[in-house]
Amino acid sequence: MQPASGYLFIEPDDQPTQTSSGIYLPDSAKGDKPQEGKVLAAGDDETTDSGAKKKAPAKKGDKVFYKKWGGNEVKIDNKEYLFVKFEDILAVVS
C-alpha cells in the first residue's frame, strides 16, 4: 500500500478489551477512538502551495500519536486502518 503524497498509512493500536483486573469491557465502555498507531507506509513528500517540500514526519515502523479525529478510515480484510495527513501527526516515538 502506497499512500498519496502528504499521507501516512497507519494501523491504529487496539483498544483493551479487558481491564487489568480481568473484567471484560463492552464496546460502549471502551471510550474514545485510539489516537496512536504504527506507521505501515509513508507517502511521498508533500509540496506546499509555495512550492516547498514537506517531508513525512514518520517512517515505516514508527509509533505515532495523531489528532483525535484525524485520518480517513478504511477497512481491509475486516481490519481498520487510517490514512492520516502529515499535519495531523502530533508526536513520533521511534
Q: What is the four-CA torsion angle of 67, 39, 80, 43, rounded to 10 degrees?
A: 90
State residue 26's pLDDT score. 66
Q: Is pLDDT of 39 > 70?
A: yes
State residue 19's pLDDT score. 64
Domain definitions of the chain by residue range: 1-15+35-48+56-94
Q: Is pLDDT of 82 > 80?
A: yes
Q: What is the four-CA torsion angle of 80, 81, 85, 87, rounded to 10 degrees?
A: 80
pLDDT in tens, 40-58: 999 999 988 898 999 999 9
Q: Is pLDDT of 30 > 60?
A: no
Q: Average pLDDT in the 72-77 region?
A: 94
What top-level class would CATH report for the domain 1-15+35-48+56-94?
A: mainly beta
User: pLDDT band at residue 70, thresholds of 50, 70 and 90?
Assistant: confident
| Residue among 50, 42, 51, 33 at smallest CA distance from 89 | 42
